[in-house]
Structure 1
Amino acid sequence: MTRMFAAVLPPEPVKEDLAEFLQPRAEHPWIDPEQWHITLAFLAQVNDARLDELLDGLRAAGRRRSPMTLRLHGAGAFPDPVQAKVLWLDIAASAADREELHRLSTNVRRTAAHAGAPPDGKDFRPHLTVSRLKRPGQQLDWLDVLSTYDGSPWQATDFALIESHLGEGPRGRPRYEIVERFPLLGDRTD
């Protein structure tokens, strides 16, 4: 069994711009930009024997969904700003693109469940995690800072299946390995 997730990955210029915004605030424990992503589905247990079935299903999901224009704007915290464990940036998009992102997540989750890798039961909340805190605490000041960030729009033209290796990255964080990228082709006849 392998731990994986499906995600939309922001392009390099978007990551560079956000990293530049966060750089003067380096005293906070920001996540490495190479790990930034918008999780569509978390798959805690992917059966290696059914990986080809999962990949085929994700290719088909990509063919059905269309590219969308996304932007990082707004901020939040999980579970809440007073006892925050995670700080994140919101995903801004037109109503149509936001709906397309939700449909992509739904298609990915159904595909994974069909391939024997049921996703976690959490509702899809599009966001990009920028910080994971060791101890929960009040983060209102950091949310005020993050809420001033207004990223440039980008065209999301694909999504990826990523293998997660816990504790193998820098400072004991996860190491991510892209298994495959799936283009969004918008062919709803498939």
Structure 2
Amino acid sequence: MRAFIAVLPPEEVVESLESFLAPRRTAIDAIDPWRWTRPEHLHLTLAFIPDLEEWREEPLIESGMAFAARQDPLTLSLAGAGAFPDPGAARILWAAVEGEEQKSTLAAWAKGFRALASRAGARVDGTRFSPHVTVARSGGRPRAAGHLVQSLDTLHTGSWVADEVHLIASHLGEGPRRTPRYEIRHTWGFTGRS
């Protein structure tokens, strides 16, 4: 199965992000349409596993439980925006994670979960980790997006406590308008007790 491990922002943060994006999305799409991320798909990916064989899922879940038990919850917020690979030739628009300590902790979580998935025998995407929440995709060709990043750069959500991480299966083409359908397969809680 196609899967990823991610932090999901709570409903109030998703609503705040959607309120911020709605007028900008309307203005942007009038000139240059993008494929905007559905609210229920907003997430912060720690590890992408393009093909997680089902028999490898249980060992990953078990080792993830031990790892998660050693992690403290983390207070997060989103502030600012950016584009991949860069604003001059963008394929993805994203909301940034605020705070260097938060980014460092998320990078450690990503490294840990990627290592656990790899030890479980899954092939893990090795792209350099950059904490973000994807808000839109170009739908194909790269586009100049400096003006879009500027229009999104005033974003600032309220904070939330990230105290759990999810293993999510992505079923391509099974959602509305042939978008993916996400299925939470497991949730690891961060207790910091071990």
User: Shared fold (TM-score greater than 0.5)?
Assistant: yes
In the alignment, which residue of structure 1 is the partner of 2:113?
108
In the TM superposition, 1:69-148 aligns within 5 A as 69-95=75-101, 97-134=102-139, 135-148=141-154
Shift of 1:98: 2.8
Displacement after TM superposition at 1:103 (Å): 1.3
Aligned counterparts of 2:176 and 2:137: Cα–Cα separation in 1: 14
* 1:99 aligned partner, one-letter code: S
Query: 1: distance between equivalents of 2:25 and 2:84?
Result: 21
Which residue of 173, 176, 193 maps to 1:167? 173
CA deviation profile, 1:11-60 (whole Å, cap 9, x unmatched): 00000001011112333332101000000000011111121111111111
Q: Which residue number corresponds to residue 32 of structure 2?
A: none
- How big is the shift at 1:185? 1.1
Describe the SS at the equivalent of 1:46. coil
Deviations 1:106-148 (A, max 9, x none): 1101100010113111111100000011132111121011101
- Are the counterparts in 2 of residues 65 and 100 from structure 1 also a CA contact under 8 Å? no
List runs of 5+ in structure 2 lacking aligned partners.
Answer: 30-34
Q: CA deviation at 1:158?
A: 0.5
Shift of 1:94: 5.0
Structure 2 partner of 1:26: 25
Work out whether residues 24 and 151 of structure 2, in 8 Å CA contact, stay in contact via their aligned partners in 1.
no
Correspondence 1:36 to 2:26:
no
TM-score with structure 2 setting the length: 0.91
